[in-house]
Structures are given as C-alpha cells and as structure tokens.
Amino acid sequence: MHMSTIISLDIGGTQLRAAVYAQDQREPLTHKRIKTLANEPDTFGRLLRLIEDVMPADGKVDAIGASIPGPVDPKTGIVMFAPNIKEWRDFPFAAKLMKNFGVPVFLDNDANLAGLAEWKFGAARGHHNVLYLTVSTGVGGGVIINDRLLQGSHGLAAELGHTTIQADGPLCGCGQRGHLEAFSSGTGIERFVAEQLEAGRKSILDLSKRNSARDISAAASQGDALSIEAYQVAGRYLGIGVANFLHSFNPSVVVFGGGVSQSGALLFDSFEVSLKAHVIHPRYLEGLVIARAELGDDSGLLGARALAELKLDL
Ligand SMILES: [Zn+2]
C-alpha cells in the first residue's frame, strides 16, 4: 500500500514554515523555518526555496497543503490578500506551486486550518461537529461539520468574528460596526478601556499610554475594577456570539485558541453565564465540551496537513 507524503506550509507574517509528513506519523520527517521578510520583495521565491529545502530526496510527494494568514478561495487556490504580505493580492498561489512541483495544492486560511488541526490532532479529537474560535487581536473561526471542514461556496465560510452582535456597535477592524471581534478581541478590550479612561473612569491604568490587552489583564489580576469589567464585557459578548454559533452549527465541542482566550476565569466566568442566558434551549449545552486549543504554534502546519489528507481522502 502506498504511504502518502505531504508537504505542509505555514505562511506567517514573521515566519515561513515547511514540514514533510508521512501518513500516520504525528511528527514531521523534516521541518524548516525562515523569516518571511514581508517588506522585502519575492516572498514567494523564498517560499519556493524553502520547499526545495525540505523536499524528500526521491522527490515523491502526494500533495502540498498551506495555511494562509488571510482570505483565500480554496477552490481556485487564489490568495485574495494577506495582510502582512503586500505583494500577494489575488495571488494564484496554488497554480504557481502546482506548476513548480507538479502535485495538487490545497490551501485555506489560518483560523479554519487551526480548527481542522484541533479536530484531527488536538482538543477536538473524536468529535464530528466542532466549533473553533481564536480570540487574539481579532476573532477568527473554523467549523467542522460531519468531519468535513466548512468552506462555503466561495471558500469564505466561518468568518465568525464578523458576526453582527449589535448593529450600531463599535467599529470592527473590517470597517463595519458591532461585530463580535469589535467587542471580544484584544483590540475590543483595549478600546473599551481607552473609552472608559477618556470618560474619566478611575483605574490603575495610565490614560496617556496605550494599554494592551495583556496590560489590562495584569491590572485585572491586581484588582483593578475597570480592567476586570473590560474582560467581563468581552466574555459576555463572546457568550452571545457562541450562542449564535451553537444555534447555527450545534457542535459537541467549542475549542478556544489565541492569546486572549488564555485569560481563564477573567473572561470565561462571564462567558459561561452569558452563553447559558442566550441559548434558546438547554439541549444545545448538553454534553457540550468547552476546551482550550492544544496545538499552539504547530496548528498551521498540522491543519494544512489535515486538509491535504482530507482532500486526498486518506
Ligand atoms: Zn468585522
């Protein structure tokens, strides 16, 4: 029986990573990383040389999978744009790699693939219906339904951070108002604190400087009431968002990744109260597992690998 070999790529704003995986082996045969150097020309050329570097000596590879930090069309293999890599705009990523290496190329965005990685190798193993949310500077989502990644007709599904929670709410990073990301991301937490300080609210945080979500979390652990409230508000809106997603997808597990989701009770106490208050029937919560992501930095590589294996029907 042929054992397949996959080259997996994790395209990041600061690092390009490539790994070679043999079927049924969790650890890569080879793994290399280089700096993205996104402000210098020819990121794609650097990526090609990185792939050549990890290519097995016999050149036998069944597919390439890639995790992209921005919207992609997985059907056409086009990267619509990557926020950190300016030269990739409507960039025919898959076609160019296919031309160079002569194997099928599968790609998707980093949040979808982090979700797929958790389903195959991490916190959502054994579940068939999975909701993955990354809460960091933004909010990203990935959804697995009946052991398949939900991609949508244009590959644009599961942009869960851009779910409207309050039509006239605060501005989101995407330019629209009241999205989940505008409330519950690190950026949303920072905005809440900045607005309250502006309005004269007392806090141990300094109005004159930019307070990061991490600074706010540290202040909360010292008992700062404004900082605690900022996370509680984020958790409350996160609960509203996840209630919506439970109604849409009825998953058996919700996996949280991203830095803000490391905040523990500070975020999740109010999240749980809000989630319970907003589901339309308690059955949505029966047996529901709420878990932290397990794969950390390797989620991109493992997700790209899982996607290629799914598409090859392995
Ligand atoms: Zn948005």
Tens digit of pLDDT for each residue in 164-198? 999 999 999 999 999 999 999 999 999 999 999 99
Distance in angstroms (rounded) separating the CA atoms of residues 169 and 172: 9
Largest CA distance in the chain: 70
Percent of the chain with pLDDT over 90: 91
| C-alpha of residue 299 to centroid of ligand 1, in Å | 24
Mean pLDDT of the region 78-92: 92
Q: 4 CA to middle of ligand 1, Å?
A: 39
pLDDT of residue 314: 80
Tell me how far the alpha carbon of residue 173 lies from the centroid of ligand 1, in angstroms: 6
Q: Cα(178) to centroid of ligand 1, in Å?
A: 8
Residue 238: closest CA among 291, 286, 179, 284: 179
Measured in Å, residue 262 CA sits from the centre of ligand 1 at 22
> Structure pTM?
0.94
Query: Is it the case that residue 155 has pLDDT exceeding 80?
Result: yes
Neighbours of 168 (CB within 10 A): 6
Label residue 249 by pLDDT band (50, 70, 90). very high
β-partners of residue 254 are: 131, 290
Residue 39 has pLDDT above 70, yes or no: yes
Confidence of residue 209 (pLDDT cuts 50, 70, 90): confident
- Residue 1 confidence (pLDDT) above 70: no
Over residues 36-56, the mean pLDDT reads: 94
77: buried, middle or exposed (CB in 10 Å: 19+, 13-18, 0-12)? buried
Question: What is the Å distance from ligand 1's center to 244 Cα?
Answer: 16
